[in-house]
Amino acid sequence: MQPKFSRLEKLIGEKGIDNLSKSSVLILGCGGVGGYVAEGLARSSIGTLILVDYDTVDETNINRQIVALSSTVGRLKVDVLEERIKDINDKCNIIKVTKFIDETNLNELFDYNVDFIVDACDTVATKKLLIEKCLSKKVDFISSMGTGNKFDPSKLEIVDIRKTINDPLARMIRKFIKDKNIKNKVMVLSSREIPVKTGERTPGSTAFVPSSAGLLIASYVVKKFLEK
């Protein structure tokens, strides 16, 4: 038993820890939500994390992103996250992909040995492409919907996309699912809270909604692995 995971082992047993340590998760987007997904999984003994993000830390990220500190502004998010994860679990294998993912390179993500994909990116077109590709390749995944302009973390939930409400991003994805006649369940993280109207294009954000969303997703991923 590794002492750092001994409290988790009390809940899931040695076999559970062994299962998680052999699992691989790809996280697309390492910002407000994705960073906390990585944090939760790293602290749950996940063996391999594939971190996909081309962006650098900006000062405006400091209010909500676990990678964002005054000392990390300007650095690649995946580099900061790698250092943090290694400090948590030095046995975790980290693979970094510093590319903007779109239709030209999405297939590259599936070249890795991936057991589960977490979509925490901001680009609607990429979300749609990833959903289709995961379904066609039968890769387990979950997609994060909007956490901007939301204030109440207790309204977050993990549901099939068809059951989402009060989420403008989810509305677009629901239409896509319907137009494509997709019958499979598409599990997403969404908030039932009515968005706060700020009158600005750039969404507002809190420290507690994106982080709670990320940890909920991490919990979902761990549970899915343990069910197997």
The domain of 178 spans 3-227
* CA atoms of 31 and 210, how far apart (whole Å): 9
Q: Please state whether beta strands 187-191 and 116-119 pair in parallel, antiparallel, or not at all (unpaired).
A: unpaired
What are the residue ranges in the chain where pLDDT is below 70? 1
**CATH number for the domain harbouring residue 192:** 3.40.50.720
pTM: 0.97
- Overall number of domains in the chain: 1
Q: pLDDT tens-digit profile of 129-172?
A: 999 999 999 999 999 999 999 999 999 999 999 999 999 999 99
The secondary element (H helix, E strand) that includes residue 88 is: helix 77-88
